[in-house]
A and B are shown apart, each in its own frame.
Chain A
Amino acid sequence: MRISASNLGCVRGSREIFRNVNFNVASGQALAVLGPNGAGKSSLLRMVAGLLRIDSGGLGLEGGDDELTIPEQAHYLGHQDALKPALSVAENLGFWAGYLGNGRAGVTEALEAVGLGAIRDLPAGYLSAGQRRRLSIARLVSVPRPIWLLDEAAAALDQAAQGRLIDLMRRHLAGGGLILAATHAPLGLDAQELRLGAV
């Protein structure tokens, strides 16, 4: 599987954020999207996720499932956690597993993988910021999709949790997945680099 972008441009509110962005990421590869705040890292990821209109240029997908679009084969981990405080940890994850994928089969292992198994019945409203982030990451683990779009995934995570995240990312790449990650800090694994804001 391969995702390629040619001459992507982004205009938001009549301000040009970036133009002529190119990248090429294949299975097993990671792309670190770097740049100062406001350079358009989040916008780029949202474009790939189908959540932002592409103003110029194009995205291409080779391989993968012919019947599905890029967003339908991707996980997006943005700044928000998409968690409902009134539902329990397990209910939140169970919903996303059911909606995005094949049902609630992978929920328990996913919770264990991020270390939230012990509090699966507590309301999500009781979680700290780091725990909420880990629950969102569990979503990526519970439903297999080849493309991971991570926007500052390590934000609010402590050292141990960051290490666990890097392990999960390595496992994903080893399994043939690909990752596009916007980040301020080094990713922690080998990745191509794409710098925005140098236009």
Chain B
Amino acid sequence: MAALMALLRRDMRLAVRVGGGALMGVLFFLIVVAMVPFALGPDLALLARTGPAILWLGALLASLLALDRLFAADHEDGSLDLILMGRAPLELAVAAKALAHWLTTGLPLVIAVPLLGLFLNLSPTAIVAVALTLLVGTPALTCIGLVGAAIAVALRRGGLLVPVLVLPLAVPVLIFGVAASNAAVKGPMPFGTPFTVLVALTLFGVVLGPFAAAAALRHGLD
């Protein structure tokens, strides 16, 4: 529908224009990944072994960054009220916002993986595996985060609340994402087994997330 395209376009424009947008998420990802060797030590073998896990954790945290602003910004200036009065179903409007968030935050993280893989001394196989699992998993992270953001929308002192709500829900995605990456590098499990579960989790999240978020928004009305 034209209304949903308008919403998608607007959110993407805002993400790019306001406060560094997409690049801020990638920068945070870069910084978090750069922090890890200071804690673990520069042993390249160790970094290569834990690399997929580090990248997944970094991507998870970076994804969470833009999430609490997802609905809060619209709530603060009254746009959310008007979105609720539109003729497009709220579930689809929420899905459009999620898509905009993923395109401007999640996808750039995936693109940054090869560069960061270099820092962690990952093999090309590992880099491809991590990039692929993140490509499939970041939509799930966005949609799970959507629900947390919708629940916390009206709370002024949200702060760390959204990450606190969202991180436990994201655990399955993290487990299977890292497992699939490691399976591709070391085995003995075939890559396909955890990867298929990851795909299933994402499909589940992509469908359920907008419904849950829309319901949360409606119930969050005074």
With both chains docked as a complex, state the minimum distance between the C-beta of A126 and any C-beta of chain B, in angstroms. 14
Knowing that A98-B6, A99-B7, A100-B85 are A-B contacts, what are 6 other residue pairs whose CB atoms are under 8 Å apart, sorted by A's residue number? A46-B222, A79-B78, A80-B76, A86-B18, A87-B17, A100-B87
Q: Is the interface of A mostly helix, strand, loop or mixed?
A: loop
Identify A53's interface contact among B17, B85, B221, CB under 8 A: B221
Contact check, A76 vs B81: say whether CB atoms are below 8 A apart.
Answer: yes
B161 at interface by CB-CB < 8 Å: no
With both chains docked as a complex, state the minimum distance between the C-beta of A163 and any C-beta of chain B, in angstroms. 25
Residues of chain B contacted by A87 (CB below 8 angstroms): 10, 13-14, 17
Identify B6's interface contact among A49, A80, A84, A95, CB under 8 A: A95
Residues of chain A contacted by B6 (CB below 8 angstroms): 94-95, 98-99
A103 at interface by CB-CB < 8 Å: yes
Contact check, A71 vs B85: say whether CB atoms are below 8 A apart.
Answer: yes
- Interface Cβ pair total, 8 Å cutoff: 78
Identify B86's interface contact among A72, A91, A94, CB under 8 A: A72
With both chains docked as a complex, state the minimum distance between the C-beta of A72 and any C-beta of chain B, in angstroms. 5
Type the 1/0 row for A75-113, where 1 means its CB is closer than 8 Å to any CB of B. 010111111101100010011101110010000000000
Residues of chain A contacted by B5 (CB below 8 angstroms): 98
Residues of chain B contacted by A12 (CB below 8 angstroms): 222
B79 at interface by CB-CB < 8 Å: yes
Alpha-carbon gap, A87 to B77, bound state (A):
14
Q: Which of A46, A51, A80, A99 has the largest count of B CB atoms less than 10 A from its CB?
A: A99
Residues of chain B contacted by A32 (CB below 8 angstroms): none
Q: Name the residue of chain A whose CB is nearest to the CB of B222.
A: A52
Contact check, A51 vs B84: say whether CB atoms are below 8 A apart.
Answer: yes
State whether A96 and B82 are in contact (beta carbons under 8 Å apart), knowing that A72-B87, A81-B77, A82-B77 are contacts in the complex. Answer: yes
Residues of chain A contacted by B85 (CB below 8 angstroms): 49-51, 71-72, 74, 76, 100
B3 at interface by CB-CB < 8 Å: yes
Alpha-carbon gap, A91 to B18, bound state (A):
15
Alpha-carbon gap, A189 to B79, bound state (A):
29
17 examples of A-B residue contacts, CB within 8 angstroms: A68-B87, A71-B85, A76-B85, A78-B81, A80-B78, A82-B78, A82-B79, A82-B81, A83-B77, A84-B10, A86-B14, A91-B13, A94-B6, A95-B10, A98-B2, A98-B3, A98-B6
Residues of chain A contacted by B76 (CB below 8 angstroms): 80
Q: Name the residue of chain A whose CB is nearest to the CB of B87.
A: A72
B residues contacting A by CB (< 8 A) are 2-3, 5-7, 9-10, 13-14, 17-18, 76-79, 81-88, 221-222
Alpha-carbon gap, A80 to B78, bound state (A):
5
Alpha-carbon gap, A64 to B3, bound state (A):
21
Alpha-carbon gap, A52 to B81, bound state (A):
10
Alpha-carbon gap, A103 to B87, bound state (A):
13
With both chains docked as a complex, state the minimum distance between the C-beta of A33 and any C-beta of chain B, in angstroms. 18
Q: Name the residue of chain A whose CB is nearest to the CB of B88.
A: A99
Q: Which of A76, A84, A96 has the largest count of B CB atoms less than 10 A from its CB?
A: A84
Residues of chain B contacted by A50 (CB below 8 angstroms): 84-85
Residues of chain B contacted by A103 (CB below 8 angstroms): 2
Q: Name the residue of chain A whose CB is nearest to the CB of B73.
A: A84
Alpha-carbon gap, A122 to B3, bound state (A):
24
Contact check, A81 vs B78: say whether CB atoms are below 8 A apart.
Answer: yes
With both chains docked as a complex, state the minimum distance between the C-beta of A99 and any C-beta of chain B, in angstroms. 5
Contact check, B84 vs A71: say whether CB atoms are below 8 A apart.
Answer: yes
Alpha-carbon gap, A94 to B221, bound state (A):
27
Q: Which of B14, B77, B85 has the largest count of A CB atoms less than 10 A from its CB?
A: B85
Residues of chain B contacted by A99 (CB below 8 angstroms): 3, 6-7, 10, 82-83, 86, 88
Alpha-carbon gap, A95 to B74, bound state (A):
14
